[in-house]
Amino acid sequence: ITVYVPRDTAAVAMGAHEIAQQLAAQAQERGLDVQIVRNGSRGLLWLEPMVEVQTAEGRVAYGPVQTEDLPGLFDAGFLQGGAHKLCHGLTDAIPYLKNQERLTFARVGIIDPVSVADYQACGGFEGLSKALAMEPAAIVKEVTDSGLRGRGGAAFPTGIKWNTVLNTPAQQKYIVCNADEGDSGTFSDRMLMEGDPLCLVEGMAIAGLAVGATYGYIYVRSEYPLAVQALNEAIVAARAAGWLGKNIQGSGCEFDLEVRKAAGAYICGEETALLDSLEGKRGVVRVKPPLPAIKGLFGQPTVINNVVSLASVPVILAKGGAYYQNYGMGRSRGTLAFQLTGNLQNGGLVEKAFGVTLRELLYDYGGGSASGRPLRAVQVGGPLGAYLPEHQWDVPLDYEAYMKINAMVGHGGLVAFDDTVDMAHMAQYAMEFCAIESCGKCTPCRIGSTRGVETIQKIRRREDMDNHVELLRDLCDTMFSGSLCALGGMTPYPVLSALEHFPQDFGLAPQTEQ
Ligand code: NAI
Ligand code: SF4
């Protein structure tokens, strides 16, 4: 009997290692033959540790399982899918999962993350196999046709970025994966790396073939030790199976890569600071141009993409750009892995085509607030994203539609707050975050964020209100226009959205909140 117990950080934090150990021991005591597979998470995080049992009808889910539940589960015959208060029936029939459109995360939680055989049994390496027989320009075209845009937050068209690198001649080019997932409320990169690391390896190898790069680096957040471990195991397995190295599957094509542990600073997720850090220097933002695509790692043309962007490439090559392009709306094509966090009953990962609304994600998937109180504000797109009040929750999640309301979809992370939130405090927090994480290279961000904290504190104390509110707006304007990178440049989004939509929290007359 096959039983799945995730090795994902979210499950491990809730005791998955102990569950796996105890389950094996108790099965042995009962004389039962159990094979435990340590899979990734299915993304139903409120059910972790979620244990799944393979039955003839499919996998049956139990969760959240604690060690004290195990004897009862055995007595209830859970190895045959038996009824129990923790049983959720067939995993694939749980609406949270059933109603998703999983393209990039299709295998996450399904397979043993570091088994090449499992990976290939679920369509793995089909994309790379096709790419091995294609001209570089044709690979780039397929990615361009898919409409894929950078999933790290900036949404720059991936195909155009690759094309720049392809057309820049050099002795050596690189593929760098930005896995320094530092935004609050985001975990999709981690879940992918822990649940399907071979998918990222495959995406990077395809990128290498597309632009003529033979080596890659995955720069992984230092707080993600389990992702580093899964990636390293996956790379060894891929190399042993001939999917990495000097002569991939006998094609004569070459690509290899390694994992680098990040330096532990938020700013090292900014692409040019990341490159400095990879080169062994202190991570400080570089002035652009030159773009990394022209002069990147060690001064060479470099594709630098986020984890989810690169992990979306295998399915695009395997099924064609048109297949991927078929999902989504407007210029936002394909799917995004939304991450539901904060004050929600059912936190987790929901991969859906662009066009879904915040309200659907919050209620149909998230199940409303965890506290039982009304939801009031949602921050979308990480700590540099705007706070959205309820009257904006029906705007479709689409890059352009969000830009129109001065918000951003970003990396797809949502943090929900109920009606006890003090939005002036959240605005202050945004400035504090910027002050702490600033690399210090430019004045609007380095000095502006500290002045911003002080000014919001004065507003919260109701000191000389008119002047200080005007000053805060001016300061945001300066940071927005004068900062060198997104940290200083986008901190105004959470601050100004809080001020605009929740003025009463700043002691001002309510205006727009409905
Ligand atoms: P950007 O708009 O400057 O650049 C986007 C990407 O396109 C970069 O890789 C850039 O090098 C590339 N690019 C631009 N023009 C190009 C051309 N002609 N040819 C080839 N490549 C070209 O944005 P940036 O500063 O890279 O990212 C800002 C975003 O990062 C924000 O939206 C923010 O949400 C997000 N972010 C994400 C975090 C996370 O944990 N995922 C953390 C912090 C910020
Ligand atoms: Fe550094 Fe902030 Fe300027 Fe970015 S905006 S370069 S983090 S000082």
Q: What is the pLDDT of residues 344-356, one digit of tens each?
A: 999 999 999 999 9
Is 293 touching ligand 1 by the criterion CB < 6 Å?
A: yes
Task: Find the mean pLDDT for residues 150-174.
Answer: 98
Counting ligands in written order, the one closest to the CA of 445 is 2
CA distance 126 to 433: 43
Is 485 touching ligand 2 by the criterion CB < 6 Å?
A: yes
Task: Look at residue 442 and tell me whether its pLDDT is greater than 50.
Answer: yes
Contacts (Cβ under 8 Å, ≥6 apart) of 11: 5, 41, 48, 49, 50
pLDDT digits (tens, 9 = 90+) for 463-478: 999 999 999 999 999 9
Nearest CA to ligand 1 atom 41: 152
What 3-state DSSP class applies to 389? strand
- Provide the 10 A C-beta neighbour count for residue 281: 11
Tell me the C-alpha to C-alpha distance, in Å, between residue 362 and each of 96, 132, 334. 12, 42, 21
Question: Do the Cβ atoms of 125 and 242 come closer than 8 Å?
Answer: no
Nearest CA to ligand 2 atom 4: 485
Distance 450 CA to ligand 2 centre (A): 13
Contacts (Cβ under 8 Å, ≥6 apart) of 18: 67
Nearest CA to ligand 1 atom 20: 161
Distance 373 CA to ligand 2 centre (A): 38
Is 184 touching ligand 1 by the criterion CB < 6 Å?
A: no
Model pLDDT, residue 491 = 98
Is 503 touching ligand 2 by the criterion CB < 6 Å?
A: no
Question: Do the Cβ atoms of 54 and 81 come closer than 8 Å?
Answer: no
Task: Find the mean pLDDT for residues 55-74.
Answer: 98
Distance 433 CA to ligand 2 centre (A): 12
Which uninterrupted H or E stretch holds 256? strand 256-261
Is 485 touching ligand 1 by the criterion CB < 6 Å?
A: yes
Task: Find the mean pLDDT for residues 120-131.
Answer: 98
Is 381 touching ligand 1 by the criterion CB < 6 Å?
A: yes
Nearest CA to ligand 1 atom 24: 154
Distance 177 CA to ligand 2 centre (A): 21
Q: Give the length of the chain.
A: 514
Of the pLDDT bands very low, low, confident and very high (cuts 50, 70, 90), residue 514 is: very low
Distance 153 CA to ligand 1 centre (A): 7
Is 182 touching ligand 1 by the criterion CB < 6 Å?
A: yes
Question: Do the Cβ atoms of 243 and 128 come closer than 8 Å?
Answer: yes
Of the pLDDT bands very low, low, confident and very high (cuts 50, 70, 90), residue 263 is: confident
Dihedral sign (CA 351, 352, 355, 358) = negative
Residue owning tokens 């390496």: 125
Q: Write down the mean pLDDT value for the chain.
A: 97
Task: Look at residue 513 and tell me whether its pLDDT is greater than 70.
Answer: no
Distance 489 CA to ligand 1 centre (A): 12
Question: Do the Cβ atoms of 307 and 193 come closer than 8 Å?
Answer: yes
Please identify, by atom number, the ligand 1 atom nearest to the C-alpha of residue 155. Answer: 5
**What does the radius of gyration of the chain's CA atoms come to, in whole angstroms?**
24
Token pair of 293, please?
């695509």
Residue of 410, 409, 385, 384 whose CA lies nearest to 395: 409
Of residues 512 and 152, the one with the higher pLDDT is 152
Task: Look at residue 510 and tell me whether its pLDDT is greater than 60.
Answer: yes
Distance 305 CA to ligand 1 centre (A): 9
Residue of 340, 400, 381 whose CA lies nearest to 364: 340
Distance 131 CA to ligand 1 centre (A): 26
Instruction: Answer left, alpha or beta for residue 245, where phi above 0 means left and psi between -120 and 50 means alpha.
Output: left
Burial of 136 (0-12, 13-18, 19+ CB in 10 A): middle
CA distance 138 to 504: 55
Task: Look at residue 139 and tell me whether its pLDDT is greater than 50.
Answer: yes
Task: Look at residue 512 and tell me whether its pLDDT is greater than 70.
Answer: no
Is 285 touching ligand 2 by the criterion CB < 6 Å?
A: yes
pLDDT digits (tens, 9 = 90+) for 373-399: 999 999 999 999 999 999 999 999 999
CA distance 20 to 359: 37
Is 181 touching ligand 1 by the criterion CB < 6 Å?
A: yes
Nearest CA to ligand 1 atom 25: 486
Question: ipTM for the complex?
Answer: 0.95
CA distance 300 to 297: 5
Is 480 touching ligand 2 by the criterion CB < 6 Å?
A: no
Task: Look at residue 91 and tell me whether its pLDDT is greater than 70.
Answer: yes
* pTM score of the predicted model: 0.97
Distance 154 CA to ligand 1 centre (A): 4
Task: Look at residue 44 and tell me whether its pLDDT is greater than 80.
Answer: yes
Model pLDDT, residue 392 = 98
Nearest CA to ligand 1 atom 27: 154
CA atoms within 13 A on the CB side of 149: 22
